């Protein structure tokens, strides 16, 4: 039976039927919500009439919800994975998983990479890059592989693997492009002045956060989870808990030095009551504040993550060697570290002419 709920000027439809997982979707009008609910109810009735089980008729959306709900604690779900699963649910969430074909996967990729499209609830989804599509399909493949042995889902082959040769030929999937954008000193000065001028009305100490990122090569999410209790004042180091790792994140705690201005910046942060974090803020708010400032200042194509490139490159330009730089950035190999290294040619003159001062 379908129920309908008004939500901020829109209507949310909820369809429940015994033996099947409930389905929900939001629409701009109640009429559209009823149309969708009627269709879903008819489909569920047909499934029940043929004797199909919920597993045989689980949709991609059902599997994504199951993956998030049942396995979230056993296998951590990152922000990136959550976003990609949302795009999958929007694009092919209504398709019955055991009926998913390579053609469905290709069509989804063409919609996502080919340009923007609008969901039924009016939200515009921007186009994605082939590298993003590659990651998104990796998550889809993971969900399908988990659902086979864990839920008894009977799949007809591997639609993602079958689609990949065509996707590569059409250039709908690919490797990420190496980014080499570094902020100039003039851009950093403008950002600092922008934040200082607005400090009285901003809850975020963005000037300090930007300078700290440049000094430590840390991401927004890493900066905002550093703890006072993990700071070693004697050795001027801090512990980063659950450092990013392709295979092991939980429990991957690493200590790094607070070089130069980083130590001074930490010492002047106010301690929040009941919160042990040095920078007790939402990382999304930090990213949004940075993007907004770049837009207001007309600084083109600069991301907060580019500060990590800047920090890494500065360390090399100051004369630190690979192991020393890795001790700050927490990279485990040169192959990973070199992606963040974009040396300015003119900096090499200083090293050559007077290496003792570096």
Closest CA to 112 of 172, 166, 162, 59: 172
**202/101 same-domain check:** no
Q: Is 169 left (phi over 0), alpha (psi -120 to 50) or beta?
A: alpha
Residues 88 and 197 in one domain: no
Residue 177 lies inside a defined structural domain of this protein: no
Q: Which long-range contacts (CB under 8 A, 24 or more apart) does 87-92 make?
A: 87/112, 87/125, 87/128, 87/136, 88/60, 88/64, 88/136, 88/139, 88/140, 89/60, 89/61, 89/64, 90/119, 90/125, 92/60
Task: Give pLDDT, residue 120.
Answer: 46
Assess whether 64 and 163 both reside in one domain: yes
Q: Are residues 162 and 106 in the same domain?
A: yes
- Tell whether 174 is covered by a domain: no
Quick one: average pLDDT of 19-29? 81
Q: Give the count of domains, the chain.
A: 2
How many helices (H) and strands (E) would you count in the chain? 15, 8
Q: In the block, which residue shows the tokens 């490797």?
A: 175
Distance (Å, whole) CA 96 – CA 92: 9
Of the three residues 134, 169, 204, the one that is the final residue of a domain is 169
Residue 239 structural domain: 185-357
Residues 129 and 194 both lie in one domain: no
Q: Which two tokens stand for residue 309?
A: 């490139």
Residue 357 predicted with pLDDT over 60? no
| Chain segment 311-355, per-residue pLDDT in tens | 999 998 888 999 999 999 988 888 778 877 777 777 667 554 444
Q: How many CB atoms lie within 10 A of CB 321?
A: 9
Give the separation between CA 309 and CA 338, rounded to whole angstroms. 10
Global pTM exceeds 0.85: no
Q: Is the pLDDT of residue 123 over 70?
A: no
pLDDT top residue among 310 and 200: 310
| Mean pLDDT for all residues in the chain | 84
Q: Give strand ranges (E) for the chain.
A: 2-7, 10-17, 20-27, 117-118, 124-125, 231-232, 237-240, 254-257
Q: Is residue 230 part of a domain?
A: yes
**CATH at residue 342:** 1.10.443.10
What are the structure tokens assigned to 173, written together? 């999937």
Q: Is residue 211 domain-shared with residue 160, that is, in the same domain?
A: no
Both structure tokens of 282 = 């939402």
Query: Of 118, 137, 169, which closes a domain?
Result: 169
Distance CA 313, CA 307 (A): 10
**Least confident range of 88-92, 193-197, 205-209, 265-269:** 88-92
Catalytic sites, residue numbers: 219, 249, 305, 308, 331, 340
The CA distance from 158 to 313, in Å, is: 43
Same domain, 234 and 347: yes
pLDDT tens-place string over residues 255-285: 999 998 999 999 999 998 899 999 999 998 9
Q: Specify the pLDDT at position 355.
A: 45
- Looking at the structure, do residues 18 and 122 belong to the same domain, yes or no? yes
Mean pLDDT across 7-25: 83
Note whether residue 224 is domain-resident: yes
């Amino acid at each position: 039976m379908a129920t309908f709920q008004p939500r901020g000027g829109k209507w949310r439809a909820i369809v429940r039927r015994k033996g099947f997982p409930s389905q929900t979707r939001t629409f701009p009008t109640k009429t559209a919500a009823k149309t969708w609910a009627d269709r879903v109810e008819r489909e569920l009735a047909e499934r029940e009439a043929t004797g199909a089980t919920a597993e045989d008729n689980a949709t991609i959306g059902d599997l994504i919800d199951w993956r998030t709900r049942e396995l979230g604690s056993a296998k951590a779900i990152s922000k990136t994975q959550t976003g990609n699963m949302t795009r999958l649910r929007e694009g092919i969430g209504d398709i019955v998983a055991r009926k998913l074909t390579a053609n469905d996967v290709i069509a989804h990729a063409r919609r996502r990479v080919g340009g923007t499209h609008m969901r039924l609830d009016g939200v515009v989804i921007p186009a994605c890059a082939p590298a993003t599509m590659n990651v998104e399909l990796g998550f889809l493949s993971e969900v399908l592989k988990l659902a086979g042995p864990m839920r008894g889902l009977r799949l007809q082959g591997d639609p993602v693997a079958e689609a990949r040769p065509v996707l590569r030929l059409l250039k709908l999937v690919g490797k990420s492009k190496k980014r080499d954008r570094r902020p100039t000193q003039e851009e950093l000065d403008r950002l600092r002045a922008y934040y200082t001028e607005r400090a009285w009305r901003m809850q975020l100490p963005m000037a300090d956060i930007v300078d700290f990122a440049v000094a430590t090569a840390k991401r927004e999410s890493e900066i905002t989870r550093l703890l006072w209790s993990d700071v070693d004042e004697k050795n001027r180091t801090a512990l980063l808990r659950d450092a990013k790792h392709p295979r092991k994140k939980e429990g991957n705690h690493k200590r790094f030095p607070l070089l130069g201005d980083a130590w001074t910046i930490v010492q002047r942060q106010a301690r929040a009551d009941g919160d042990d974090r040095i920078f007790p803020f939402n990382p999304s708010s930090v990213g949004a504040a940075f993007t907004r400032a770049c837009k207001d200042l007309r600084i083109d194509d600069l991301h907060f993550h580019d500060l990590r490139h800047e920090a890494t490159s500065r360390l090399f330009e100051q004369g630190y060697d690979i192991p020393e730089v890795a001790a700050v950035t927490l990279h485990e190999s040169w192959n990973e570290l070199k992606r963040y290294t974009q040396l300015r040619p003119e900096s090499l003159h200083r090293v050559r002419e007077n290496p003792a001062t570096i």
